[in-house]
Structure 1
Amino acid sequence: MAEREHVISSEIIYKGPIFNIETQLVDLYNGRQSKRDIVRHVPAIAILPFTDADHMILEKQYRAAIGDFILEIPAGKLDDRDFDQPEHAVERELNEELRMTAGVIKRVTGFFETVGFSDAYMHVYVAQDLHAVNEEKQLPRDLGESLDLIIVSFDEMKALFESGKLNDQKTILAFLYWSYLRG
């Protein structure tokens, strides 16, 4: 039977704008003790931006953590502007990254990203009935954010998935959900 660990002590050893790192000392089920390093990450959102039933917008952008470009669906973290409302973050990210607004925003699911060492949680939304945002209403992109927008068909996304060129977990989830919607 799976047993719960019990935290004896914890200490924040790093505080940053997006995540903190906490070190815990825990009692294990077998009477021993162990140390846990946990990344405490702010919640995030991801968006499946459908231009129609057969097309979605992906972003190609450089990601420093992997030192390369990646194809991914739009995403972003919740911050003070969102007041703990993921839907507000969806609207903001659509504007900042795609320069669009959506007539329909619907929550699909949510998931923990890397439970082995982090509490990072991502809310996943579908955005439909997309319309361009007037230039004067466009929000600034994040500092250093540079991306190419690519509209892909379902068949193109399927080919990317089958060839292993989709290697971002939220984007793989987007493809699988899209496949589910298509029956």
Structure 2
Amino acid sequence: MAEREHVIDSKIIYKGPIFSIETQSVNLYNGHQAKRDIVRHVPAIAILAFIDADHMILEKQYRASIGDFILEIPAGKLDERDFDQPEHAVERELNEELRMTAGVIKRVVGFFETVGFSDAYMHVYTAQDLQLVSEKEQLPRDLGESLDLVTVSFNDMQVLFETGKLTDQKTILAFLYWSYLRG
């Protein structure tokens, strides 16, 4: 039977704007002690931005963590305004990144991204009935945010998936959910 660990000591060893790192000492079920390093991450949202039933918007952007460009669905972190209503972050990210609003926003699923070392949690939404926002209504993008918007058809996405060119987990989930929707 799976047993719970018991934290006997905990200390934040790094605190940044998006995540912190906590080190813990824990008692194991068998009486031994172990160390745990945990990344405490701000919750996030991701969006399947549908132009229509057969087209979705992806972003191509450089990610320093992998030292390369990646195709991914729009996403962003929650801030203190959003914790009770992640839909606010969806609306903000649609504006900041796509320069659009959505007539329909629907929650699909939520998941822990990397439970082996982090509590990072992502809420996934669909956005439909997209409309461009006027230039005066556009929110500023995050500092240094540079991206290209790419419209892909379902068939394009399927080819990207089958050839291993979708390597971002939330975007793989988006494709699988899109496949599910198409029956």
TM-score, length-scaled by structure 2 = 0.99
- Structure 2 gaps of 5+ residues are none
- Structure 1 gaps of 5+ residues are none
Q: What is the alpha-carbon root mean square deviation over aligned residues?
A: 0.7
- What secondary structure sits across from 1:24 in the alignment? strand
The reply to whether residue 111 of structure 1 matches residue 111 of structure 2 is yes
Report the Cα distance in structure 1 between the residues aligned to 2:70 and 2:120, rounded to whole angstroms: 20
Report the Cα distance in structure 2 between the residues aligned to 1:83 and 1:113, rounded to whole angstroms: 17
Report the Cα distance in structure 2 between the residues aligned to 1:118 and 1:85, rounded to whole angstroms: 22
Matches within 5 A, 1:83-162: 83-162=83-162
Maintained 8 Å contact 1:14/1:20: yes
Identity among equivalent positions (%) equals 86
Maintained 8 Å contact 1:78/1:84: no
Q: Runs ≥4 in structure 1, deviation > 4 angstroms?
A: none
Give the paired residue count.
Answer: 183
1:18-70 Cα deviation digits (max 9, x unpaired): 01111100001111000000000010000000000000000000000000000
- What secondary structure sits across from 2:126 in the alignment? strand
The reply to whether residue 5 of structure 1 matches residue 34 of structure 2 is no
Report the Cα distance in structure 2 between the residues aligned to 1:130 and 1:53, rounded to whole angstroms: 12
